[in-house]
Amino acid sequence: MEACRSQMLKCSGGFVLVHAGAGYHSESKAKEYKHVCKRACQRAVDQLRAGALAMEAVTAALVELEDSPFTNAGMGSNLNLSGEIECDASIMDGKSLHFGAVGAISGIKNPVLVANCLLIEAQKGKLSAGRIPPCFLVGRGAHDWAVSHGIPPCPSENMATKFSLSAYKRNKRKMELAEKMDAGQNQTKKRRQSSENENGSGCLDTVGAVVIDSEGNVAAAVSSGGLAMKHPGRVGQAAHYGCGCWAENSFNMNSYSTAVSTSGCGEHLIRTMLARECSAAMQSEDAHQALLEAMQNKFISSPFLASEDRVLGGVIVLRCCRNVEAQPSSNVQSAMVEFLWSHTTESMCVGYMSALDSKAKTHISRLPPGTVPGQSLAIEGGVCRLMGVLD
């Protein structure tokens, strides 16, 4: 199933597309989700207008998304089985192709800052004695590395919100009740399915962003608190290479620069490497058709997920044509930027903004009525012209 719309936008100096997760966004909280997407877009555009590159802008957007108590990233993240917060995040630079990530990290308010710092440090080259710098750290090691590189710690209890704490207590009671009940295998299966319906698609609100700057560089980032009641130490797609985000400037055989950020069930996204798959698909001429086919063939109908009844996830995608067109009688050059989002979950909240816009536009995309989450998909997007891009 598909729902599609397109808009034409003016754009100069850069463009940002963000998401506040693919899952379920109730009408009662729609205003809060849209508001945080607007703020994230504004933060990124402020950086672009000041001359920042895509990496700085995408990091600024993620920090804003992580700081919101309404998103499952950074502040207000889901609690694990032990009642603790463990976060995942990653970032990728399309220009250098460097990648930085953290998994199951506790006590850091903005995990994306650690991922970004890892990427920056790796770009400096080898460590003493010829050691290879890390690009992906987890757990206590990631926390200690972050603190040693100037990122302030934040007690995990200060990152929990009233909403995340109440959700943890509610889920814990459900689990304890289910464990006490012993009404046979069929009842156990029904309870498990009920738990998945109640805690599955509604808790997949990973956040992310993709950015293109005035020089045509792209960057992507993603951050998540993970599934509610996850096992301690579990690392989701937000930290895995090729699964949570992907960014690649045009070069050699690639005619398009592409940036992707994903959201959804981490295990589904990891087993399909959806971010990288969508990026590769974007080299086709028709971006909309390419993303539609990638979501259908590489995700919903993926042989790697053949045993799954519902395949839950979403992506935001940005691509820019490498071959810019010179304007008549002018030194100004331009390139066409296409931006899309697609999801198999009930809904996905997105926001987008160019450096020329006075404010961001936001939208909660929903599956068409009567369709089944995890078996159907929605796809929407738009086009803008980016001025001043030099190849």
* pLDDT by 10-residue block (mean), the chain, 391 residues: 41 87 87 96 97 97 96 94 96 98 98 98 96 98 98 93 92 88 53 41 75 95 95 97 97 91 96 98 96 98 97 97 53 79 97 95 96 96 76 46
> Which SS3 state, helix, strand or coil, does residue 270 take?
helix
Between CA 16 and CA 45 the distance in angstroms is 7
Please spell the DSSP secondary structure of 335-385, one letter per residue. EEEEEEEEESSSEEEEEEEETT-SS-EEEEEEPPTT--TTT--EEEEEEEE
CB burial of residue 390 (10 Å; 0-12, 13-18, 19+): exposed
Active site residue 206: yes
CATH number at residue 242: 3.60.20.30
Of 126, 84, 133, which is closest to residue 104 (Cα–Cα)? Answer: 84
Whether residue 315 contacts residue 342, with contact meaning beta carbons closer than 8 Å, is answered with yes
What is the CB neighbour count within 10 angstroms for residue 219?
A: 33
59, 71, 206, 262: the active-site residue: 206
What is the CB neighbour count within 10 angstroms for residue 151?
A: 18
Q: What is the pLDDT of residue 193?
A: 42
154-162, long-range: CB < 8 A, 24+ apart: 154/107, 154/108, 154/109, 155/107, 156/84, 156/85, 156/106, 156/107, 159/74, 159/75, 159/76, 159/77, 159/85, 159/109, 160/76, 160/79, 160/85, 161/69, 161/75, 161/76
Give Rg (Cα) of the chain: 20
Query: Which tokens is 293 given?
Result: 């086919």
Between CA 133 and CA 263 the distance in angstroms is 28
Q: Which domain holds residue 259?
A: 15-159+203-389
305 part of a folded domain: yes
Helices and strands in the chain: count of H runs, count of E runs: 10, 15
pTM value?
0.90
Name the amino acid, one letter, at 367.
L
137 part of a folded domain: yes
49 part of a folded domain: yes
The count of C-alpha atoms lying within 13 angstroms of the C-alpha of 182, restricted to the half-sphere facing its C-beta, is 1
207 part of a folded domain: yes
Query: Which tokens is 301 given?
Result: 């109908």
Query: Which tokens is 177 given?
Result: 């009740």
| Strand partners of residue 314 | 263, 343
Task: Count how many domains the chain has.
Answer: 1
Measured at the alpha carbon of residue 199, what is the angle toward residues 194 and 160, in degrees to the nearest 5?
A: 150
180 part of a folded domain: no
10 part of a folded domain: no
Between CA 320 and CA 312 the distance in angstroms is 27
Distances (CA, A) of 306 to 263, 265, 271, 275: 20, 15, 11, 19
197 part of a folded domain: no
Between CA 179 and CA 22 the distance in angstroms is 30
Between CA 262 and CA 264 the distance in angstroms is 7
Q: What is the pLDDT of residue 204?
A: 57
Whether residue 176 contacts residue 138, with contact meaning beta carbons closer than 8 Å, is answered with no
276 part of a folded domain: yes
